[in-house]
Amino acid sequence: MTFFQALEKSSAVELYTYIILLLVSVLLYIFSDHLKICILALRLPGPKAYPIIGNCLEITKTDLISREMSEAYKKYGPLARVWLCALPMFVVLDPNDLKVILSSKKHTDKSVFYKLLHNFLGRGLITSSGHKWSSHRKLIQPSFNIAILEKFIETFADSASSLIDKLPKEETVLNVTEYVNNCVLDILNEAVLGVPVKRVDQSEMETSPFRQGKVVAPYRITHPWLLFNFIYKLTDAATVELNQKKQLDEFSRKMILRRREALKSLTSSNRRCLLDFMIEISNENPEFTEDDIVDEACTFMLAGQDSVGAAVAFTLFLLARHQDHQAKCYEEIQRHIGPDSSKPLTAENIRELRYLEACIKESLRLYPSVPLMARKIGEDVRVGKYQLPAGSEILILPYATHRLEHVYPDPERFDPERFGDDAPHQNPYAYLPFSAGPRNCIGYKFAYIEMKTIVSRVLQNFQLSPAPGKEQVQPIFRMTLRARGGLWVKLTPRKMAS
């Protein structure tokens, strides 16, 4: 090799080395924030993670809720980590730390996890972030004024009466979940879409795609390669999900068209629905398009079903197990409403059911309908002795936070007095069934009125007691909280009980 050949070879090596170092430097710069997040995650405790898949298979465990979530604080302390494949997520459990995150408008962006719900819920209030979320929230919020919500009580009462008619008239042991879910869907059909509960033609709503909605996100998490959209789009699951979304959109557009026609002749005596309000919002604000109405309608219909249905079913189940608290609720109902379940309910009646509301709140503490939520940090946040970098993904576990012994002594005990009129003031970020802060559930007042109406009508007509052999519950995670095998209760008509 000549001197000049050696020099050329040396120059080439230097050039390649320089290029490699430059590429490494660029990659380190691009991924420096992610590396900081990963380094912090490696310092924190958390459940055992596996290479590549991380903790993705955790949600397949039947005892995920009852074991891992309920014991999370004891095992890991106020801050832990989990891995969604190579993405670390920080689990924040302490109410004071949650307040820092949830109370700030700087941390309102939803986690990347919610992108998995776009094909199911669309891009409504639950899944959207940034300007779209803030503008939609501002536009829709007035529709959830308490004065407007109380006008839905007739709808709630009609659906509750329909539920009572469908329940057996003799002492029976049954799974209340399906009955309650149908009742909640009846409410949403009228309150959101404007389809009356007391309709003559049942066929259209019996085949409604909102009855068959199925979320695929948990399936994708347990099959991590499906988290990549270009792979997921090639699967049968994607085809089914997209077809389901198409049916939901088409059905919603048909309901919107129907309500546009109805609004032309609507009088003050007619019942209104949320579609009416959103159509009016769209007419006055062109940036709120029909696609936005569809997304928000799907959000209210799909999210409202499982969350309220589960809360009512768990409340009935727990009241069946705790006769003393059920008796107090029944006495309160007798005092403020009376024994006649055909008597119209008023907003004042429902407001006075304070002990019943405390029982519902305690049921939601023990069994929050949404046991897991996520956020993305907008700027660095101090959590205990750690600094969470901007861009960190945060997991919030109401099921775990609701069981902190220093906040809720004897946390597994059903004790509605925790929410009674004389209960001591508690940190609002220790109770999160509807989240908290700027991104709390826009419909939480709607949900409480709805739940109080349904439960009060059931207690007016039936005495509840435990179903023999089915007194225990095994909570499972399916995006919302469910009970494996259902929630079974023995119903005895009040006339027979007396």
- Residue ranges for the known binding site are 441
> Residue 374 in 3-state DSSP?
strand
DSSP 106: G
The span from the CA of 431 to the CA of 5, in Å, is: 74
H/E stretch holding 382 reads: strand 381-383
Could you tell me which of 463, 479, 252 has the C-alpha nearest to residue 369? 479
> Residue 159 in 3-state DSSP?
helix
E strand residue ranges, 45-165: 79-84, 87-92
**Which positions ≥6 away from 471 have C-beta within 8 Å?**
321
Could you tell me which of 356, 361, 431, 364 has the C-alpha nearest to residue 401? 431
E strand residue ranges, 155-303: 172-175
The span from the CA of 174 to the CA of 488, in Å, is: 5
Could you tell me which of 456, 470, 467 has the C-alpha nearest to residue 492? 467
Cβ–Cβ under 8 Å, residues 278 and 297? yes
The span from the CA of 213 to the CA of 359, in Å, is: 30
Q: Which amino acid is at 289?
A: T
H/E stretch holding 481 reads: strand 480-483
Angle, helix 153-166 to helix 444-461, in steps of 10 degrees: 40
The span from the CA of 370 to the CA of 390, in Å, is: 25
DSSP 464: E
> Residue 475 in 3-state DSSP?
strand
Cβ–Cβ under 8 Å, residues 125 and 137? yes
Cβ–Cβ under 8 Å, residues 278 and 293? yes
Could you tell me which of 271, 102, 284, 77 has the C-alpha nearest to residue 193? 271
Q: Six-digit token pair at 302?
A: 């799909």
- Which residue ranges are tagged as binding site for heme? 441
